[in-house]
Copies of this chain bind each other. A is one copy, B any other.
Amino acid sequence: MKLIRNIILFALCSLCVPFSRADEGMWLFNNPPYKILQDKYHFQPTAAWLDHLQKASVRFNSGGSGSFVSADGLVMTNHHVGADCLQKISTQEKDYMKTGFEARSGAEEPKCVDLELNVLMSIEDVTARVTAAVTPGMSSADAEKTRRAVINEIEKESRDKTGLRSNVITLYNGGQYHLYRYKRYTDVRLVFAPQKAIAFFGGDPDNFEYPRYDLDICFFRVYENNQPVHVEHFLKWSEAGAAEGDLIFVSGNPGRTERLDTMAHLEYQRDLAVPGTLNLLRRREILLKNYSDRSTENARRAEDELFGIQNSRKAYLGMLGGLQDPAVMEKKSSMEKSLRDKVGGDAKLQQAYGDGWDQVAATLKTLVKIRDEYNLISYGPAKRAQAFNSELFDTAMTLLRLAQESPKPNNERLREFSEANLEPLKLQLFSEAPIYDDLETVKLADSLGLMMEVMGADNDLVKKVLAGKSPRDRATELVHGTKLKDVAVRKQLAEGGMKAIDASNDPMIGLAKLIDPPARRIRQTYEQQVDEPQRQAYGKIANARFAVYGSSVYPDATFTLRLAFGEAKGYTEAGQKIPWATTMGGTYEHATAHENKEPFELPAIWKERKAKLNLSTPFNFVNTADIIGGNSGSPVVNRAGELVGIIFDGNIQSLVLDYIYTDQESRAVAVHSAGILEALRKVYSAERLVGELTGKK
């Protein structure tokens, strides 16, 4: 499970008021669920307990979570989160995904090429300053510009003052704005990875399933000044790990949920957004699968990207299943009605917030009209243009806009080019991650074909983009003609500014110049006519919710640090009791049941060392914590704050969590800390690592 959202088709626990006694919520560290924890678990986290967990938690820019697990900067995450680095530092001859990796000394720890880790150091509520800037009566266009200006300003001030990465986070879809300050780490080195065959044992068929048997872990070490960092906050390893019924906490970065979305918004998701995304995912999955099937080297090159697509496809299918389930939609509808009735029954609330829902609906009507063009060509932060599915095109666009935006005052720049955001952007822009011409060509050709299909062969922009050639021929020409694979060329162009860009005859830069004006126009339309009014509308709804239900409301997930909690606990599915944990012995039975065929084929060393293992050691376990894609790699800790496991998936029933919480059958799935140690000791004989984790070096 990676950074994506989900849902599915199961009977839901009753949830007639937003906050039940269930283990619900992805809570802000500056607004934790004290009362629920006290009432249900008689546990009151201290400020120190929270601060320690917060600062031991790590965010991966590749889309997941992790935690410090030693004083010497050792970080644990999931294998499928670390895979981004594994993929980028592997070659045909040296394939870490296949063989796994273990550094027997610090000198053997290879550096990841563009991995950035973030540790959340502080949170500051800046809602008042952001919302004060946008005054009533402002046009949407002015409001968008003003809001962007104040956010760019707040971030720059903070970064100048503290030196920390500073991001203003939009919470409650626009209800609040908090300033998050992060310590950035960019020298991250690989310490240990198991073979993918055990890390992702069961492959796509077992993904989002339980019972499960995956060693989905990976260890990195954070360096500064070429030395391992010494960190004050790291999680103590619990050798015994979680036990059935234990209260556990999950500290990680859930990527995105849509629980506060209006019904109109959910219907838009159901009827257009999710089906559209699924069509694109299926298209890309088949494209990459076909490319991969042609040779083992092709398969290696596309491996991590293909996994990400298959993972998303499975998650979105689950989400759509939920949206298409009348039981889910009726529940959501009754929750909305309940809140709107309460607002409608209070003249002051009605006056202030009553039109929020209709305003959201209005923005969606605009979105429906512009969405094809927006999806295909708009290019922005975390938004790639679907018509140009190419690393090299992205590089060209970034170089062009860097040249355009850098001379502007900070407050007027596009968000991703503001001063506070330039460092992370440049880390990616100058990444030495390998780019493969053949894969680039296949992807770009297909996406140019998509553009032709959706916008029409006679569309002027399509004609200019294709320059009289077929998508395949044009993609070949662009990929083979560009020099942007060379990082030195990128740096020259970045340093040379607009003059260097204008002097360049690189065909990919030429394409970026062609696309930039219409891409900016459609982005501006989206930001001014969809995003900004949506923020304002959801701001009203959020305030209405606070007014009616009080301040103990958690916001939708935003890939920022959250605290979830729950119990290590099995469930009943179709009358069958599903146990809270699996054992290492079960792994071998699961392989046998699938004839030991890939992806159910265990690595040779696992077969050889079976006799050494205590087969009854817990391997994977489930719990009721409220998680979603992005939580991958999140530490699971006990009351004492000790690490008892690591989240790596949700079961198929958990896909509903995108829209609504349930703990009836939905579960988070974790690797158990005892199972990890058993594997490291008996299968891998990884003494150095085990010593560091257990403090017995």
> A597, B296: Cβ atoms under 8 Å?
yes
Asked if A504 is an interface residue, CB under 8 A from chain B, the answer is: no
A286 and B290 CA atoms in complex are apart in Å by: 12
Write out, one digit per residue, whether chain A residues 432-472 have a CB within 8 A of any chain B CB (1) or not (0): 00000000000000000100110011000000001011111
Residue of B nearest to A205 (CB): B293
Asked if A595 is an interface residue, CB under 8 A from chain B, the answer is: yes
Asked if A285 is an interface residue, CB under 8 A from chain B, the answer is: yes
A326-B469 CB under 8 A given contacts A295-B594, A457-B271: yes
| A205 contact from B294, B321, B325, B471, Cβ within 8 A | B294
**Shortest Cβ gap from A660 to chain B (Å):** 14
> B472, A275: Cβ atoms under 8 Å?
no
Residues of A contacting B: mostly: helix
Asked if A267 is an interface residue, CB under 8 A from chain B, the answer is: yes
Inter-chain contacts of A205 with B (CB < 8 A): 290, 293-294
A residues 266-302 in Cβ contact with B at 8 Å: 267, 270-271, 275, 279, 282-283, 285-286, 290, 293-296
A183 and B107 CA atoms in complex are apart in Å by: 79
> A203, B293: Cβ atoms under 8 Å?
yes
**Shortest Cβ gap from A279 to chain B (Å):** 6
Asked if A324 is an interface residue, CB under 8 A from chain B, the answer is: yes
> B470, A296: Cβ atoms under 8 Å?
no
Inter-chain contacts of A324 with B (CB < 8 A): 449, 452, 457, 470-471
> A9, B470: Cβ atoms under 8 Å?
yes
Residue of B nearest to A209 (CB): B294
Inter-chain contacts of A597 with B (CB < 8 A): 296
A325 and B449 CA atoms in complex are apart in Å by: 10
A271 and B453 CA atoms in complex are apart in Å by: 6
> B457, A321: Cβ atoms under 8 Å?
no
A205 and B291 CA atoms in complex are apart in Å by: 8
Residue of B nearest to A320 (CB): B449
Asked if A13 is an interface residue, CB under 8 A from chain B, the answer is: no
Q: So how many copies of this chain end up in the complex?
A: 2
Inter-chain contacts of A290 with B (CB < 8 A): 204-205, 314
Asked if A121 is an interface residue, CB under 8 A from chain B, the answer is: no
Inter-chain contacts of A589 with B (CB < 8 A): none
Asked if A332 is an interface residue, CB under 8 A from chain B, the answer is: no
**Shortest Cβ gap from A694 to chain B (Å):** 38
Inter-chain contacts of A282 with B (CB < 8 A): 279, 282-283, 285-286
A472-B9 CB under 8 A given contacts A279-B279, A282-B282, A282-B286: yes
A270 and B456 CA atoms in complex are apart in Å by: 9
Inter-chain contacts of A495 with B (CB < 8 A): none
| A468 contact from B204, B326, B466, Cβ within 8 A | B326
> A321, B470: Cβ atoms under 8 Å?
yes
Asked if A327 is an interface residue, CB under 8 A from chain B, the answer is: yes
Inter-chain contacts of A286 with B (CB < 8 A): 282, 285-286, 313
| A267 contact from B326, B457, B473, B594, Cβ within 8 A | B457
A290 and B470 CA atoms in complex are apart in Å by: 32
**Shortest Cβ gap from A369 to chain B (Å):** 17
Residue of B nearest to A299 (CB): B597
Inter-chain contacts of A473 with B (CB < 8 A): 9, 325
A residues 470-510 in Cβ contact with B at 8 Å: 470-473
A194 and B204 CA atoms in complex are apart in Å by: 31
> How many interface residues does A have (CB within 8 Å)?
41
Residue of B nearest to A293 (CB): B205
A285 and B285 CA atoms in complex are apart in Å by: 10
**Shortest Cβ gap from A641 to chain B (Å):** 39
A residues 669-696 in Cβ contact with B at 8 Å: none
A residues 309-348 in Cβ contact with B at 8 Å: 313-314, 320-321, 324-327
A470-B327 CB under 8 A given contacts A282-B283, A320-B449: yes
Write out, one digit per residue, whether chain A residues 192-231 have a CB within 8 A of any chain B CB (1) or not (0): 0000000000011100000000000000000000000000
Residue of B nearest to A286 (CB): B282
A231 and B285 CA atoms in complex are apart in Å by: 49
A residues 513-540 in Cβ contact with B at 8 Å: none
| A204 contact from B293, B313, B314, B594, Cβ within 8 A | B293
Inter-chain contacts of A314 with B (CB < 8 A): 290
Inter-chain contacts of A469 with B (CB < 8 A): 326
A473 and B11 CA atoms in complex are apart in Å by: 11
Inter-chain contacts of A270 with B (CB < 8 A): 457
Inter-chain contacts of A279 with B (CB < 8 A): 279, 282-283
> B285, A470: Cβ atoms under 8 Å?
no
A324 and B445 CA atoms in complex are apart in Å by: 11
> B595, A296: Cβ atoms under 8 Å?
yes
> B456, A271: Cβ atoms under 8 Å?
yes
Inter-chain contacts of A325 with B (CB < 8 A): 470, 472-473
A271 and B324 CA atoms in complex are apart in Å by: 29
**Shortest Cβ gap from A334 to chain B (Å):** 16
**Shortest Cβ gap from A547 to chain B (Å):** 32
**Shortest Cβ gap from A466 to chain B (Å):** 8
A472-B271 CB under 8 A given contacts A205-B290, A282-B283: no
> 21 A–B contact pairs at CB < 8 A?
A9-B470, A9-B472, A204-B293, A205-B294, A267-B457, A270-B457, A271-B453, A271-B457, A282-B282, A282-B283, A282-B286, A285-B286, A286-B286, A295-B594, A296-B595, A320-B449, A321-B471, A321-B472, A324-B471, A326-B469, A327-B470
- Not counting A324-B471, A326-B468, a sample of 19 additional A-B residue pairs whose C-beta atoms are within 8 angstroms of each other reads A9-B473, A205-B293, A267-B457, A270-B457, A271-B456, A279-B282, A282-B283, A285-B286, A296-B594, A296-B597, A320-B449, A321-B471, A321-B472, A324-B449, A324-B470, A325-B470, A325-B472, A326-B466, A326-B470
